[in-house]
Structure 1
């Protein structure tokens, strides 16, 4: 019995000793100035290194400084040919809205930039002559009826050798003239947009409508309300922009380098921050005007937003079709003689640790704000063209990784600011 009691007592003492040892070990690990093992030292060192190369920005901060997210693109920036040019729309895709008759502009329904459909009313024109044509058309029917009766009478007289043959010929000529005039009036009234069969004395119209001959965008308006226009005066110009293409002016010595199917990156002169793409489909065979340049025609690929006929552009033709990873210039920062870009790592929300019994008041909970963590990666840079620079990362960037394409300077400043505060503490 005593032996059993001793065994139980020994077990209790061993268990209490183990608990005391664990408590002592934990208290030493939580100390701030003692060396208690390699593992305890390694983790803080790794965390500190990551903090020095990353920054977290809230959605509000990103919006305030204009940070934009994108991806590494593939661009041709090595073997290239730079040239100027302009955007053009073929004449077959341009049209003027004109009136078939002269008159005074009574109403004008469009402005520059408006999109119109084929047949849509552009303007209305008023002229007293329109009423006169309709009146003549209505009255000519009775005149034709009378001329037919006169011709029948002259035929009867001529058959009875009573009437003169000359009178029969005159009656025939008069009827034919009236019928020709009616056909002419019929066509003119139809060109005015009026159905001749619906005309009556109570439905005479003093104005006519001018419609758009094609669907497209109003590029210019030449008339105004109250002005007089005739058949040679266009009221508005309409351009169908889907056929918009690029005419690149290439010097004679460079023409042998141009091939159908080559890619072109170009920017509009008044907006160099946005790059568009085109593909060569035709090479001109004559010089442009008195210059020594030849037009290289290219179809625009993808987005055409903001492109208008007549805009001047600067283009870069890809000569060897070798693509390199490239990013916008605003995605690169230079720090301590090295170049960096910022990778988007994750969306994170730092939870607030509540102590037992503490109320969940979020008015002072700064750690609950949604943010994006960015990690800095070193790169080497290559050729630059049209706002893009070729890059080579020092380590592989996982496929599908997003990066900062605009505003990397602000992310870098945030990272440095965070690092300084961390060392200060």
Structure 2
């Protein structure tokens, strides 16, 4: 019985070993299969990545072709009739002379030949001021009123002289009557006549002085300062209550529209009287013109260079005394022949200078913005040098380029939406 029991135990041990070995073999084959599956999955993943990369590359090439199509679509198309209605004009790129010009600082000043410096004819206290800086005044308009003690004394002397004249006239008429009647001596008559003439001359002299100073006979010590010209009050040193002297310059009046352009003459520039020069205010893009009038006889105290004065030809509200401007001057007399376009053709698009070129396709005009590299500007500000971007005889828009720029911006805004 005991032997049989031992055999059963060995049978169970053998069965357990077989089962364990089977389980181990199963796990081994499963691990190998999983590893093989992962390798396949990795290869499949790599193939998918390569396929995706190829697709993206093809897509990017497609986008590049699309971008090129869009760039070609930047061109604005219209018929010749539409271009004419929009005021668009074009010409061919040609060669022309452009002087080498440079900008130099300058300043607008008042024309001293058309300026009035006003002072008081009497020392006294300011009672009234009738003008402010920048105000337009007419000739004879009262600017201020001064209370002058000396004027009271002069008016008193005039009153006394008038009374003396009246007495001298009475004495003269009485002596003349007596002389005519043979009662008075001729000597007395002549004495009375001379006294009357002297009194008359004294009154006339005082009245002429009052008239020359613009005084009223019964002004009661008040002196009215008047403007001698039509113009604008550019300076005023006049306050109610202050005491002024005869030598004080109280008001400066400039004639409107008469301004000078002043600048220091560069050593490498030659200008001549009556030469026309262009200048531009720092606050505006407007080009103005002036005519050289004189080269001052004395050099500038700071630089030792000569100073030029030119009369401003244009009248503009922007141009005021002391406004800083830039003046264009040719650095030498040599002119170079270069490819050039009209300055009106140049527009700024995304910070770059462009010129709209013209092509004719399928019966329509096609306008395309062409970036250009620009050089010097002509002295008359009408032409500008083209260093690159355009070729000889190429047609471009000379007038109406701003209209095309606006149309292009509208089109881009539509695509953005």
Question: Do residues 232 (structure 1) and 247 (structure 2) align?
Answer: yes
Give matches, 1:292-371, under 5 Å.
292-318=304-330, 319=333, 325-326=342-343, 331-333=347-349, 339-341=353-355
Deviation readout 1:156-190 (Å, 9 max, x if unpaired): 89xx9x99x8x999877765653343123202332
In the superposition, relative to structure 1, how do residues 326 and 207 fare at CA in structure 2: closer, same or farther (>3 Å)?
Answer: same
1:57-92 residue CA offsets vs partner (Å, 9 max, x unmatched):
xxxxxxxxxxxx9999xx997511443333333432
Distance 1:280 1:396, change over 3 A: farther
Match of 2:384 in 1: 390
- Report Cα offsets for 1:352-384 as digits up to 9, x if no partner: xxxxxxxxxxxxxxxxxxxxxx96521423225
Distance 1:110 1:125, change over 3 A: same
Aligned match of 1:121: 142
Structure 1, unmatched stretches of 5+, are 1-46, 56-68, 197-202, 344-373
How far the C-alpha of 1:228 sits from its partner, in A, is: 2.2
Shift of 1:317: 1.2
Q: Give the Å deviation of 1:103.
A: 2.9
Structure 1 residues 127 and 262 mapped into 2: Cα distance closer, same or farther (>3 Å)? closer
Task: Supply the distance in 2 between the matched residues of 1:417 and 1:191 (Cα, whole angstroms).
Answer: 73
Contact 1:342 1:404 (C-alpha < 8 Å) held by counterparts: no
CA gap of 1:172–1:237, structure 2 versus 1, over 3 A, is same
Counterpart in 1 of 2:31?
none
Q: 3-state SS of the aligned residue for 2:373?
A: strand
Alignment partner, residue 221 of structure 1: 236
Q: Does 1:266 align with 2:279?
A: yes
8 Å contact 2:236–2:252 — kept in the other structure?
yes
- CA shift in 2, pair 1:396/1:184, >3 Å: same
Number of equivalences: 315
Is 1:210–2:213 an aligned residue pair? no
Select the residue among 110, 130, 135 that pairs with 1:89.
110
Q: Deviations over 1:178-207 (max 9, x none)?
A: 3343123202332453565xxxxxx65553
Q: Is the deviation greater in 115-124 or in 217-226?
A: 115-124
Report the structure number with the largest CA radius of gyration.
2
**Offset, 1:95:** 0.7
CA contact (8 A) 1:340 1:376 kept: no
Structure-2 change in CA distance of 1:117 and 1:334 (3 Å):
same
Matched, 1:111 2:135: no
- Which residue matches 1:182? 203
1:276 alignment partner, one of 288, 302, 311: 288
Q: Distance between the aligned counterparts of 2:72 and 2:155, measured in 1? A: 87
Matched, 1:401 2:400: yes
Q: After TM superposition, give the deviation of residue 402 of structure 1 in Å.
A: 4.7
CA distance in 1, matches of 2:329, 2:235: 32
Aligned residue for 1:52?
74
What TM-score, normalized to structure 1? 0.57
Deviations 1:319-375 (A, max 9, x none): 56888522598x32358xx742579xxxxxxxxxxxxxxxxxxxxxxxxxxxxxx96
RMSD: 4.9
The 8 Å contact of residues 77 and 324 in structure 1, kept in 2 or not, is answered as: no
Q: How does the TM-score come out when normalised to structure 2?
A: 0.58
Distance in 2 between the 1:83 and 1:76 partners?
Answer: 22
1:274/1:375 CA distance change after superposition, 3 Å: same
Aligned to 2:63: none
Q: 2:162 aligns with which of 128, 137, 141?
A: 141
